[in-house]
């Protein structure tokens, strides 16, 4: 089994199509217990893995079906998040299409996720870095938040008020 830890050591991929999350850390030996993320429905998976330093041992077998291409989809999500942050002024769907094309050229035989799903991943990551919307009319704008060559001009006009 090949294990991959990502998301700041909160998620474990077992290389067989299962994703696990950290359940607890044992006090007696410092071992980390991971449990399967499939928990909903009438039949939650009871698959657990024990990690002692660099050694992984299966405690309970999985009762859920493995997901096809899970490792590749997780890699695509990581690449999409980086691409969304680097191309700040492109639409998320355009960035997702570019990422999928690059990944498909490298691995033509795998099943790719939906473009809209990948675009949503990029939008969520990108929105973490955007300023929050103003709560009242007193706010300031940061010029770095605008795309390059963005036209900025004052609009001058007259307002007619009825009495």
- Are residues 8 and 30 both part of a single domain? yes
pLDDT tens-digit map of 132-149: 788 888 888 777 777 777
Do 90 and 109 sit in the same domain of this protein?
yes
- Let me know: does 11 contact 5? Beta carbons within 8 Å: yes
Identify whether 95 is part of a domain.
yes
pLDDT average, residue stretch 50-66: 90
Judge whether 136 lies within some domain.
no
Report pLDDT for 9: 66
Task: Indicate the pTM of the whole model.
Answer: 0.68
Is there a contact between 52 and 31 (Cβ–Cβ < 8 Å)?
yes
**Counting Cβ atoms within 10 Å, is residue 18 exposed (0-12), middle (13-18) or buried (19+)?**
buried
Name which residue leads in pLDDT, 118 or 161.
Answer: 118
The domain containing residue 38 runs over which residues? 4-60
């Amino acid at each position: 089994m090949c294990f991959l830890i990502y998301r700041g050591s909160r998620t474990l991929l077992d290389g067989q199509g299962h994703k696990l999350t950290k359940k607890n850390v044992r006090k007696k030996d410092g071992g980390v217990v991971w449990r399967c993320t499939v928990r909903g429905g009438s039949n939650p998976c009871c698959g657990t893995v024990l990690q002692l330093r660099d050694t992984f041992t299966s405690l309970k077998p999985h009762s859920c079906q493995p997901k096809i291409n899970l490792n590749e989809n997780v890699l695509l999500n990581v690449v999409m998040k980086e691409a969304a942050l680097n191309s700040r002024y492109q639409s998320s769907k355009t960035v997702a299409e570019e990422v999928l094309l690059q990944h498909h050229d490298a691995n033509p035989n795998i099943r790719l996720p939906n473009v809209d799903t990948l675009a949503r991943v990029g939008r969520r990551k990108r929105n973490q870095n955007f300023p929050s919307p103003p709560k009242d009319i007193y706010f300031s704008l940061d010029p770095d938040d605008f795309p390059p060559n963005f036209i900025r001009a004052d609009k001058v006009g007259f307002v007619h008020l009825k009495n």
